[in-house]
Amino acid sequence: MILLFYFSAFIIAVATLMYLLGYAYLFNGISKTYFKGKTSAHIDDGKFFTRNVITTKSPKPWGKANNYNKTDLPKNIVDDLIHSDTASFLVIKDGKLLHEQYWKGYHKNSLTNSFSMAKAVTVMLLGKALEEGKIKNINDKFSDYYAEFKAKPFAENLTIKNLAQMESGLDWDEDYKNPFRPNAKAYYGKSLIDATFKRRFKEKPGEKFEYQSGSTQLLGFAVKKAINQTLSSYLSEKFWIPLGMEQNAIWSTDQSSMEKTYCCIHASSRDFAKLGQLFLNDGEYDGQQLLSVDFINEMRNPTKKSNEIYGMGFWINNDNPVKHYYFLGLQGQYIIMIPEYKMTIVRTGSYNNLPKTDRGRPDQVKFLVNESVKVFG
């Protein structure tokens, strides 16, 4: 009994200390990972968080190529996909579904976590808000939307474009494994404002590229304020419904219903592929221009400060013989666009130790591009 008393007192003391130090979100993280048999965020965790629905209305299923699923993947691709704990692998060619394969019980209707692929979606919403005049200029100051940033050192000149290009100067350590870093607080905490607005700025915006989830979350706050509606409903109206997505999707939120704009759109692989096809089509779908070509070109134009590997929301590889650009999410979520071959590749899964030796880009992306065009090009 005495041991139980002291153990209980210790647990209460630790919990109290975590709360006082601002780490109460850790208990939420533990309940959504370890208590679910996982060791980190995972592609099936959408149902454990508050969320907004991204609705579709009139689904338009993919047309299938004449040789749909008639070509077996070669052993080297299969081995790589199995080794990396892949859930889905899709190839779209000339606007038709050419190859579709699932593992581990996933299927065409499975909704999985986009993780950071949502960053590019947030930039798409920025582009639409600019088109509609809801945001006047991409060089608007963030402090025009949130005046308190005028008083923050370095932040007074932060622009919307700085946030989209990952040149914000924000003090944010992009660490996915350390539970005491800002990513964990944003992912498991109750308030995204608390997780982002309290961060300081360490340098002048526009001077250095640094990939940060916090930058895209701030961008999301600005876009939401400008459009005066949820980002999920705006995404539904401007893209999900016009693209004829096959499934409703969900977007994880904090407790105030603010979307986690740096991550966490849970959608089917077929619907992720439609986002890729939209960019291959330069923003046009079914006779409608859903996003301006000029803005799309800004998204896929690599910046000098990123050493030519990042644009606005997109990772870019123009030094590979087969040029490509892509949405990228944690654990190997990809929507890859290959303009030369009119091809989109989608890969989802749980690749926890994803190597990134290709100038900071995932090795697997280049491998899948180069090998897939040999088979399907």
How confident is the model over 175-185, as pLDDT tens digits? 877 776 788 88
Would residue 37 count as lying in a domain?
no
Of 165, 192, 167, 187, whose CA–CA distance to 176 is shortest? 187
Indicate whether 139 and 13 sit together in one domain: no
- Give the per-residue pLDDT at 250: 98
Q: Provide block-wise average pLDDT over 10 residues at a time, the chain (377 residues).
A: 48 47 57 58 91 97 97 97 98 98 98 98 98 98 97 96 98 81 86 96 97 98 98 98 98 97 98 98 97 98 98 98 98 98 98 89 97 96
Q: Are residues 25 and 165 in the same domain?
A: no
pLDDT of residue 54: 98
Residues spanned by the domain of 13: 2-32
- Distance CA(296)–CA(202), nearest Å, equals 30
Same domain, 25 and 111: no
pTM of the model: 0.93
Question: Coil, strand, or helix at residue 288?
Answer: strand
CATH number of the CATH domain containing 330:
3.40.710.10
Are 264 and 304 part of one and the same domain?
yes
Within 10 Å of residue 53's Cβ, how many Cβ atoms?
14
Question: pLDDT of 8-46, one tens digit each?
Answer: 444 444 445 444 445 556 556 566 564 455 666 899 998
Using an 8 Å Cβ cutoff, are 63 and 97 in contact? yes
